[in-house]
Structure formats: C-alpha cells, structure tokens
Amino acid sequence: MDTLRVAAAVVNAPIGEVEHNLTQVAHWTRLAADQGVRLICFPEMNLTGYLHTDAAAAWAESIPGPATAALKKLSQETGVTVLAGMAEKDTAGRLYIIHLAASPAGGIHVYRKLHLAPPEQATFTPGDQVSLFQIESLTCGIQLCYDAHFPELTTRMALDGADIVFVPHASPGRGQTARDKHHSWMRHLTARSYDNGLFIVACNQTGRNANGLEFPGNAVAIDPSGNILAKKLDDKEGLLVVDLDGSALEHVRGHRMRYFLPNRRPDIY
C-alpha cells in the first residue's frame, strides 16, 4: 500500500464568515501543497462556523452549491484532496452537519454526520449512510466529532475496507488547553485505531467563534497499532503534517494476533 502525506488543519472558523473561511482554506491548502501533502482535513463546520441553533440555516448551502464549487476548483488547482465542513440545507429544508471531500479529479464526496450530539438534535437531521471515499490506493472514512464515541461505526467502516478515518472536530472547551483536549481524545481515538487496524487523523477548531464558544486547537495522527504518530498541542492555527505509511497497515493486518477483525463473532452479538 502507498504512503500518503496528509495534513490536519487547526483553524479559527468565525460563524457566518463563509468567504473568509474559504479564503483560509485556500491559504492552508496551498501551504500544504508546498509540503507535498496529498490530502488536507479541516475541522467540523469550518466553512460556516459551528453552531447548533436554527441560526445555522442562514449560512447553510445546498449540495452542489458555491462552497462545493470553490472546493472543487481549489482541489483541481493544487492537486490536494480537500476535506472541509459546513451546514447543508436539502430541498425539503432539513439541516445537516456535513463534511465534503473534494478531489483533484473533480469529484465531491459528502458525509452527513450520523450521531448528533444532544445540543445539535433539535436543529439538525442525522445522516443515514456510512460512506467511504478513495484517495490513490487507500480507502477513507469521515466521522464528525461525536460520531467517534460509537465504536460500531469505526468497525463498520473497517469492515467496509477503510484504511484511514478522518475525525474533524468542533469540540469546545472553555478554559481547556489543546493538551487537555488531547488527553480527552486519547480515551477513545487510540482504541478506534487499535481495535480496527486503521489510521485515525483528527483535528479541532481553535479560538473563539463569535458565538460564545471557545475551542482548544489540537490535532493528532494515530497509527493502526494505536500509537501516536504526531500531535499538535499549541492551541494555534497551523498544520500537522504526517506521512501515513501503508506498510504500517500491512504489518498489523498480516499479524495473526494483532488483527482482530477477522476473528469477530457477530453471530453472538
């Protein structure tokens, strides 16, 4: 399997400032491209800013729409697959929290958040499809923040062939530092990678978002053995750039004791 250089972006995403946030996506994507990055992942709802009230409708877009067109153009210009998040409004007026993957070939993959956090449930509709996308020889999934607390979802993605799961967050924590949030993530993200034999790459918003929320900016990459490959814990905007070596997948999946999926007993649970 190939080695893929990816970037996890930690950015500030003010609510409603979509043009500004798109400009920031372009800025960090071009910097990542200069470092040989093939895929960049931005935090949850980084285009519209994160909020969980009906006010999200004011900035929600249909798919396709202006945001998807901008991301497709950026991906084609840079050769980088761009993962970015926003609020979506469908033709029936329902709101979703989504993450987009725009590829240099012009394709757009849409992931709708499946597990809504309790404060989000009055405003948004949960998605109903577990979907994956391809980059080069690798199969990737997306989970959004609260999604990652449900082990069955990662296992389902792994059974469907996922090699990498990207976990964009809009995870606030007033008074928390990036290091505090990192310790919280380590309670579950390492387990998702270790139990399922895949890479996890996660990133968070940072700073205040003009809606009373404050985010500790952190990012992490975890290998299929549950080991931390790299982390960003300085609370500042920036990129965590890491090489995901396909041989790490082969090492785990070729090990009769360390690759657990083939030995599951779904018939009894």
Which tens digits make up the pLDDT trace of 53-96? 999 999 999 999 999 999 999 999 999 999 999 999 999 999 99
Q: Where are the beta strands (DSSP E) in 189-227?
A: 199-204, 207-208, 214-215, 219-222
For residue 80, is it within any domain?
yes
Number of domains in the chain: 1
Contacts with 255 (C-beta within 8 Å, 6 or more apart), sequence order: none
Q: What is the pLDDT of residue 72?
A: 97
- How many residues does the structure list for the chain? 269
Specify whether the CB–CB gap between 12 and 47 falls below 8 A: no
For residue 179, is it within any domain?
yes
Q: What percent of the chain has pLDDT over 90?
A: 93
User: Stretch 223-228: mean pLDDT, rounded?
Assistant: 97
pLDDT band at 209 (very low <50, low <70, confident <90, very high): confident
Q: Phi first, then psi: what are they for 154, rounded to 5°?
A: -65, -40
Q: Write out the H or E segment, with its range, that includes residue 69.
A: helix 66-78
For residue 265, is it within any domain?
no
Instruction: Kindly state the DSSP code that residue 38 receives in the 8-state scheme.
Output: S
* Planar angle of CA 92, 95, 97, nearest 5 degrees: 140
* Calpha distance 24→160 (Å, rounded): 33
Instruction: Kindly state the DSSP code that residue 64 receives in the 8-state scheme.
Output: S
* Calpha distance 171→204 (Å, rounded): 6
CATH number at 172 reads 3.60.110.10
Q: What is the pLDDT of residue 1?
A: 65
- Copy the structure tokens of residue 193: 């990678």
Whole-number Cα distances in Å, 197 to 53, 87, 145? 37, 31, 20
Q: What is the residue range of 77's domain?
A: 4-259
* Calpha distance 118→115 (Å, rounded): 9
For residue 264, is it within any domain?
no
pTM greater than 0.95: yes
User: How do residues 148-186 score in pLDDT, each as one tens digit?
Assistant: 999 999 999 999 999 999 999 999 987 899 999 999 999
For residue 104, is it within any domain?
yes
Edge-first strand listing for the sheet containing 138-142:
132-135, 138-142, 164-169, 199-204, 219-222, 228-232
For residue 48, is it within any domain?
yes
Q: Are strands 108-112 and 132-135 parallel, antiparallel or unpaired?
A: unpaired
For residue 269, is it within any domain?
no
